[in-house]
Structures are given as structure tokens and as C-alpha cells.
Structure 1
Amino acid sequence: MKSRQPIALVTGASSGIGEATAGQLAKAGYKVYGTSRRGAQSGQRGFEMLALDVTSDASVEAAVNALIHYEGRIDLLVNNAGFGVAPAAAEESSLDQARAIFDTNFFGIVRMTRAVLPHMRQQHSGRIINIGSVLGFLPMPYMALYSATKHAVAGYSEALDHELRTLGIHVSVVEPAYINTPFDANLMKPDAPLDVYRGICGGVERRVKEVLVGADGPEVVAEIVVKAAMATSPEIRYAPGLAKRMRLLRRFAPASVLDAGVRKDLRLDTSATMPPRDAAAIPLSR
């Protein structure tokens, strides 16, 4: 029997932000289907799990078709699946690695969106919420490729929302800063490392780990996703927690102050001229 509850699909729901989001959506009244590449057991999660690899057209099509077969509709898609990259210089990743990063973090969202939109258009309703990052609007040295994927997610989300509003479908992007999740435990290493960058990238990685220790948990992001999903008039961009302050700095602070703050936070100028005293440290990244 098909559920009368609104139906949500959350990618990358086996842990971290995805698991927290799926759980909170279930508590808010959604019937939730989470996904993971290995199709984890539902267990005590309070929501169903489907096997889905966002880098595979066939896998995406099969999972969405299965959900439609079970429920007959989809009301909410949360695109959360993605992976992080260890701090590295841009030239330390081959083109193959760059393509792999984009294939999951950006084209995975495109695949999922294309799979659900025909059903949402038929319903004349739906919500798509993409999990981006503060790096979608702030620079992050030694995270250039990851930052590029998140800028792409932000631009795609805003443009898509304009396209779909008249069809009754809304798109939002949630852009958190540092979030303490298992996402940060298995970062992709560069496949073309260079000795010249080893010391500075090691320093940036240590700095990121320091900040993650005291960072917000995934529940902060999950709460914003539920808010966006249930809002009568959802915003296009949401910045939970500390990221909201970072977005204001990006908008109103002089470029020189923002630049100095980024470098100060990552300790990139310890042997050079220090930034101005009023330059804010800019905590970065999901």
C-alpha cells in the first residue's frame, strides 16, 4: 500500500549529514528512503535504505524507478552524496582525478535531478535540496577542485530554481561550514603529489583537523534541510550555523579583509607579512 506521507529520497544516508537529515525528515512526517552505494540495512534508522551509486546512470535510474514503484511519487530529493579531498595543490591532481571528483560531487546531483524531475513535473510539485558548502561562495586554498564542485552546485541550484518555479518545484542549496562527520575521515589523496607542496599542505590539513574537533555536528545541517523542505516559500540558499556569518562577510567585507582572513585562518603567512589586525579568521568547508 502506497504511503499518504510525503516521500523523501536522501542520497548518501548511511552516515553523517545524510543519515541525520533522513532521520529528522522521518521525525517531521516524511516517509524517507535513504541511499548508499552498498545498500546498507535499514536497521534502527527509522527509514528505508536503497542501493544507489550517483556516478552510475543505470544505478540512479533503477533506484528512482524502484521508489516510484513503491510509492507512486517523490516529493523531496536531498542530494547529499559526495566525498571530500585532502588538502592539496590544484596541480597535484590529475585530470582523471578531477573528473572523478566532479562525477560524484556535481554530476551525481545532475543525474539525480534529471531522474526525479519527470515525476515532479507530472505531480506539479516537488522540492530539491542540494548539500553544498561554504566553499561554494568562499575561496579555499589547497582545496581548489573540491571548491570548484561546490561553486558548480551553487550555480546549478540557483539557475535550476528559476527554471522550475513556474512548474511548482523549488530548489535550494544548503552551504555549511566545518561539520564534524565521518565524511572527513576518508578524504581522497592527490594522485600526483609534489614535494614542493608537502609542508604547506600538511599544515593546512592539521589546521582543518583542529577546527573539526570543535565543529558543529550534522544535526545543524539536518535542521536546515527540514526547514527548507517544509517552508511555504523556501530560500534558494541557506547557510547553517557559522556559515551564515561567513556569507555576510563575503557579501559586505572588503576583498582585502576577506583575503587576509582566509590566509590567517589557514596560517598561510606565518613567515610573511601578517594580515591586518581587524581581518577576521574565516573558518571554511564542510
Structure 2
Amino acid sequence: MSNKIALVTGASQGIGEATAKRLVKAGYTVYGTSRRGASGDERSFNMLPLDVTSDESVESAISEVIRLSGRIDLLVNNAGIGIAPAGAEEVSIAQAQAIFDTNFFGLLRVTRAVVPYMRHQGAGRIINIGSVLGFLPMPYGALYSATKHAVEGYSESLDHELRTWGIRVIVLEPAYTRTPFDANMLEPDTKLDEYREVRAAVNKRVKEVMATAEGPEVVAEAVLKAAIAHHPKLRYTAGSLASRLRLLRTYAPAGLMDAGIRKDLRLEA
């Protein structure tokens, strides 16, 4: 991997930072990005400013990587935002659009900027950090889940389109991951009294699960596995819980999955 160039968005902390570090260890030259770019911390990888919600910022960052290294072999679309558990109607249209602008359209912007270079190279790999919520529903997490469902559909379709030029697109599906991500989640902007009690209960349950969740290094290892596979799969789960959920979603009866989701979140039947 010593001549491979990787770009990882949202690399200032959490999954993105762990992924960038793991790729460096594997021999990649890594460019991480965040909205603020380089900080005072010493890192084993380069940091560039990139705001995935800005066309100009995306184009500038990609151009800088090409200027410095001449190519991009691996793109890891990791940048994203979350929203605290809440009823779907507690999220305004404007807030829903903002979530999609980062989690889906941000991924789309970066991908569109990188693909022409990969197509010219005749090779490349794009790994989109999705979620188990891309194939499972999340009561009181409808908008975040919707963005991850969108990532799944886009990625699968794009993979078919780009194989002609030696480019593969992969979705990585973690479950709960212990990172600072949950501490920076948006609060719903139109809270309703009708949801107050259940919102508090679901928040409590999510925090309980997060306290014992696997760390971001598990996701980073899965990214590396997908990045170097000679014959990559379209989807990779990351961690034991994600693997079990994928297995259940594939083989368990729909009614059993439905009941299990409600039981886990302690929702009334």
C-alpha cells in the first residue's frame, strides 16, 4: 500500500480518525479532512479543510490532494451528523434538509469530485460509511435512518455503473460505535409534549447501549479489509452486533424483527 493515496472525510475524531490512522499503519498516504482542517494536534496523516456541504470547499480539497499526490486510490466517505432520538414530526423540514445535506448530499459531492480522477486512473475504491440503520428501521431516528437508507441505494447503483472503469463502491455498516459522535448530535428543533416521555426513554436506552458499544477501531479494521480485498463485497458489517443484525434481517421473519426492535427500545407493543 506504500504508493496508495487515501482520502478520509470527517477524520478529526471517532471513526474517521481511527480509519485514517489504520490506513497509515497499513502503508497508505492519507489525507484526512474536517471543516476546520489541521488542528494543533500532531497526527500521522495530513489534514485538510473540507466542508462537505459546500461545492467550492469540496472542489478545493480534492484539487489540493491531486496537486500534492497526483491521484486518489481510496475514498472513505465518513463525514456525517446525527440527531438525538425524537419523533419524526419533531424534526422540521429545514432541519431534515440540513441532515441530508451532510449525510447524503455531502457524500454525493465528494464522490462526484473524486470519480473523474479514478476513472482517468482506471482504478479506485470508494467506501461509504453507512449504518445498520441503512437496512433496519430506527423508531425515533427516522431522519438519520433515512439518510443511511439513501446511502445504501446510491452506493449499490453506483457500484454497477463504475465497475467498467475498475472502480468499486462499498458500504460499511457499523452498529452502535463508542465515539464522540453522540455527544455532538443535533437536538430536534420542533419538540412536542406528546413525545416527551418516550423521547426521554429512548434517549436513556440509547445511552445505555452506547456505554458498552465497540470502539471505532473495529470499524477502521473493516474499512481496511474492504479497501484491500481483491474481490470486494458490496457490503461489510463492522463489529459483532452489526453482523448479528444483518443475519437476522436476512433470515428472521419480519414479525420477529419488528417485535425485537420494539422490545430492545422498550416501546409499548
TM-score normalised per structure 2:
0.98
Letter in 2 for 1:142: Y
2 CA distance for matches of 1:246 and 1:114? 31
Corresponding residue of 1:73: 71
Asked whether 1:260 is paired with 2:253, we answer no
2 CA distance for matches of 1:212 and 1:22? 23
- Return the match for 2:27 from 26, 29, 33: 29
Specify the SS of the correspondent of 1:69: helix
Corresponding residue of 1:107: 105
Letter in 1 for 2:266: R
Contact 1:173-1:238 within 8 A present in 2 as well:
yes
1 CA distance for matches of 2:183 and 2:242? 21
Letter in 2 for 1:185: A
Q: How does 1:43-54 map to 2 (within 5 A)?
A: 43-54=41-52
Gaps of 5+ in 2: none
- Return the match for 2:178 from 174, 180, 183: 180
Gaps of 5+ in 1: 273-286
2 CA distance for matches of 1:181 and 1:254? 32
Specify the SS of the correspondent of 2:178: coil
Asked whether 1:158 is paired with 2:156, we answer yes
2 CA distance for matches of 1:5 and 1:72? 11
Corresponding residue of 1:59: 57
2 CA distance for matches of 1:34 and 1:21? 9
Specify the SS of the correspondent of 1:185: helix
Asked whether 1:146 is paired with 2:144, we answer yes
Q: Once the 2 structures are TM-superposed, how far is the Cα of residue 5 of structure 1 from its aligned partner?
A: 1.7
Count of aligned pairs = 268
2 CA distance for matches of 1:187 and 1:256? 31
Please identify runs of 4+ aligned residues in structure 1 that moved more than 3 A. none
1 CA distance for matches of 2:262 and 2:157? 31
TM-score normalised per structure 1:
0.92
Contact 2:2-2:27 within 8 A present in 1 as well:
no
Q: How does 1:270-281 map to 2 (within 5 A)?
A: none
Corresponding residue of 1:200: 198
Corresponding residue of 1:14: 12
Corresponding residue of 1:283: none
Corresponding residue of 1:250: 249
